[in-house]
Every structure is written in structure tokens, then in C-alpha cells.
Amino acid sequence: MKLVKNQGYSVSKAAESLGISWPTLDKWIKAFDQETGSEFGGNPFEMQRELRRLREENRQLKMEREILKKATAFFAKDLK
């Protein structure tokens, strides 16, 4: 994994040096990326930071939605 991710080896070269087929190594890398969150490089601290950010964004959006619901109800009363 580190040969490909950190040292810049191609999957086929890394697989060759490990004595395995490249499709096997490719499958392992994809499975690892899915388990660890490849967009964060498998860094649990980055994943936690992103999770906190998303939770805060979700809280903010819920609050804004509630405000819009109340405003809609308020203005709908004026139309009647």
C-alpha cells in the first residue's frame, strides 16, 4: 500500500515487487480506501474534523429550515 500511496509506485510495479498480481493489489487498495476514507488519506483526525464540520452544518441547516417554516406560516396567515 505504501509503495503506491507514499512512494509513487504504479500498482503494477508495486505488485511485481511484492510477488502478487496487480488486480489483487488493486482490489486490496480499493478495499483499504473504502474502510479508511481515502479522501482523507486514512487519517482519523481529518475524518473526525470533517464529521464535526458536517454536523455543525447540518445543525445550521435545520435551524434555517425551521425559521423558513415559521416565516411561511406567518406570511400565509396574512394572505387569508
Number of domains comprising the chain: 2
| Together in a domain, 47 and 31 | no
Mind listing the pLDDT tens digit for each residue in 14-41?
A: 888 889 898 988 888 888 777 766 666 5
Mind listing the pLDDT tens digit for each residue in 33-71?
A: 777 666 665 567 777 888 899 999 999 999 999 999 999
Domain region containing 6: 1-40
| Together in a domain, 2 and 25 | yes
Does the pLDDT of residue 2 top 70, yes or no?
A: no
| Together in a domain, 22 and 4 | yes
| Together in a domain, 68 and 80 | yes
What residues contact residue 21 under an 8 Å CB cut-off, 6+ apart? 15
Does the pLDDT of residue 7 top 70, yes or no?
A: yes
| Together in a domain, 66 and 33 | no
The confidence score (pLDDT) of residue 14 equals 84
| Together in a domain, 18 and 31 | yes
- Output b/e per residue, 22-61; b: 16+ Cβ within 10 A: eeebeeebeeeeeeeeeeeeeeeeeeeeeeeeeeeeeeee
| Together in a domain, 15 and 48 | no
- d(C-alpha 65, C-alpha 58), whole Å: 10
